[in-house]
């Protein structure tokens, strides 16, 4: 299920490059659905899965096989399955697993390590069908923070349009324009912990106090409202680092 909740304007309002990107993604998803089902059915190995992924990256997401994609990218004695370059600049790693293998934390940690070593912010995990996109933030002396930005399943029940919306951020044209970075900023700004901080700011607490007074005639102390919000309203299990 995708975490992308953008409202896409009508195609007539989109710039030409975006219309073309979305059209190529839509066509590729339709085209690759049958081959993906076939390799899943026969439990294809990782090599066969990579063939599908390479074609999808090129035909659907606009990458040049020779200029933009590097297979077996060397990272200090280890190898990332794919490195993605935009105008010769390395911007992301992709870790590939065979078609029927479920993606897990161990796979994530493997490619996360590569990203940290190379100073990259973006990594992807995929088995051809399921695509997971993560943002990686590493600061010297601090724990690496890696968060799922969105996930999309090509063979899933989600409407085709929503799948296109998600894959759009991975298209070369969108990645070149750093739209995925804007998506991440939006996600951070509206994350539960960010909204919790906003709820506890003085202007918001004062606005709540005034509204409570208006509706109930009770005039609470803002510090008491803050205490209630911290202890009763905010759910710590939903907050992210």
Domain residue spans of the chain: 11-189, 192-238
Q: H-helix or E-strand containing 19?
A: helix 16-41
Contact between residue 4 and residue 158 where contact means Cβ atoms under 8 Å apart? no
Q: In this structure, which CATH number among 3.90.1570, 3.30.360, 3.40.50, 3.30.70 belongs to the domain 11-189? A: 3.90.1570
d(CA 165, CA 169): 7
pTM for the model stands at: 0.85
3-class secondary structure, 143:
coil
Contact between residue 111 and residue 122 where contact means Cβ atoms under 8 Å apart? no
| Tens-place pLDDT, residues 40-81 | 999 999 999 999 999 999 999 999 999 999 998 989 778 999
| Tens-place pLDDT, residues 4-50 | 444 444 445 899 999 999 999 999 999 999 999 999 999 999 999 99
């Amino acid at each position: 299920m995708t975490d992308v909740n953008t409202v896409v304007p009508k195609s007539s309002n989109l710039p030409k490059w975006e219309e073309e990107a979305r059209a190529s993604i839509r066509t590729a998803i339709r085209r690759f659905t049958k081959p993906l089902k076939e390799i899943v059915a026969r439990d294809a190995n990782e090599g066969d899965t990579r063939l599908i992924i390479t074609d999808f990256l090129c035909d659907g997401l606009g990458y040049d096989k020779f200029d933009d994609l590097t297979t077996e990218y060397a990272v200090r004695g280890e190898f990332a399955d794919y490195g993605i370059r935009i105008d010769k600049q390395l911007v992301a790693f992709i870790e590939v697993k065979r078609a029927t293998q479920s993606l897990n934390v161990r796979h994530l940690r493997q490619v996360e390590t590569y990203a940290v070593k190379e100073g990259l912010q973006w990594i992807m995990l995929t088995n051809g069908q399921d695509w997971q996109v993560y943002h990686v933030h590493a600061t010297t002396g601090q724990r690496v923070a890696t968060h799922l930005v969105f996930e999309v399943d090509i063979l899933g029940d989600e409407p085709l349009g929503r799948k296109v919306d998600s894959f759009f951020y991975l298209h070369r044209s969108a990645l070149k324009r750093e739209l995925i970075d804007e998506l991440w900023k939006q996600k951070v700004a509206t994350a539960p912990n960010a909204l919790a901080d906003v709820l506890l700011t003085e202007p918001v607490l004062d606005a709540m106090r005034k509204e409570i007074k208006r509706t109930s005639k009770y005039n609470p102390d803002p510090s008491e409202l803050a205490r209630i919000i911290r202890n009763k309203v905010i759910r710590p299990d939903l907050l992210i680092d």
